[in-house]
Structure 1
């Protein structure tokens, strides 16, 4: 009887959640999307593996011509962030050496600490496929759309994000760290976690300068 009671409670709860979701208006969804902001001050709690998988599932619904899935997702957390920091530092030192420069101790420390700005980093990289009907730029745009879906899905689960790349993202050492081929790209470091900061209000968006109707 107790098991039956628990099952009934769970079913009732699920039905209530579905009803609440059904009552969300189009305007509420649109306003929620427009409220998205990048937040750089991120701490724990961070999304769990299950929450990350949920977000990546949403990312995979991005427009994807011929269903090539030209993207991969790599989650960096815990001590692995220090390993990423070492890779970024090595890339920065290599880049400086090519320019005949030497990084200062301050610059070295700043670069090494970059991955420590959030408890979790989800790196989105491309996995380009050869296809006569799907040029590279379409696949790259698909990866960008996947990033946006990922960010919105994390937001829906209560987490803040910031999409970073930077000058080091596609340096050979960083690509090698993530196992990214020479013809592929690191498209995003999605830093995610929680933030106690108030979301800054966005200035009104004026569409007239970027929109044109043709009839």
Structure 2
């Protein structure tokens, strides 16, 4: 599985409750929790502090916390209110079922290339969903609409993922947005009930991490920006 953010940090240590408590306290004390107190600068800096963290552990978001995050996800820009996204929460033993779907996809992919997976590759693929206690998969459910082309609906799904990630962060949880070469293979799409014209857009791995959030290096936006008047 690939991580959509280059340079993200993978953490191989197990999480613990104290680490989660510290991060949760930090978020609770942050002005982002109380809109009446937040300043523009604080909000911007909080968003800029988001980082991708892999190999997450417990404590994980509860059902109510996941629903609160999805309540934020569905406020993404959505032309004509088509709601072209769905969310599937995988946790507990269901992660093993997802691992089997990944393995079936990898084996089919290898067979197409006239190869066979090594036992090491098989085990690594099967274990992918075990890198976090909860995975929220975001899939598209495209609607036919003359004013809303598929690419707009795909962008809406991406915006929903970003809202989801920020909402989980606000509740004290770490995340990593993964996709990878297997995400839209037939075995994986079939597992999630995704149609031929739809896509798995994100596996949002979420949980807790005992490590401090790494500092993001400043990005020079000047080459990426153009003003016109």
Q: TM-score normalised to the size of structure 2?
A: 0.85
Q: Which residue of 2 aligns with 1:170?
A: 184
1:49-95 superposed Cα distances (whole Å, 9 cap, x missing partner): 00000000100000000000000000000000000000000010011
Q: Which residue of 1 aligns with 2:137?
A: 123
Select the structure with the greater relative contact order (CA < 8 A; seq sep ≥ 6): 2
Q: Which residue of 1 aligns with 2:198?
A: 184
Q: Which residue of 2 aligns with 1:210?
A: 224
- Aligned pairs (5 A) from 1:136-147: 136-147=150-161
Structure 1 Cα separation of the partners of residues 111 and 212 of structure 2? 41
Q: Which residue of 2 aligns with 1:195?
A: 209
- Aligned pairs (5 A) from 1:4-15: none
Structure 1 Cα separation of the partners of residues 176 and 110 of structure 2? 26
Q: Which residue of 2 aligns with 1:56?
A: 70
Structure 2 gaps, min length 5: 1-30
State the shift of 1:204 in Å. Answer: 1.1
Q: TM-score normalised to the size of structure 1?
A: 0.91
1:12-62 superposed Cα distances (whole Å, 9 cap, x missing partner): xxxxx9994411111100000000000003100000000000000100000
Q: Which residue of 2 aligns with 1:7?
A: none
State the shift of 1:101 in Å. Answer: 0.2
Pair 1:41-2:43 in alignment? no
What is the Cα-based RMSD across aligned positions, in Å?
1.3
SS in 1 for 2:206: strand
Q: Which moved more, 1:19-28 or 1:30-39?
A: 19-28
Spell out structure 1 runs of 4+ moving beyond 2 A: 17-21
SS in 2 for 1:88: helix
- Aligned pairs (5 A) from 1:5-154: 20-154=34-168
Write 1 or 2 for the structure with the bigger share of helix: 1
SS in 2 for 1:22: coil
- Structure 1 residues 66, 50: closer, same or farther in 2, change over 3 A? same
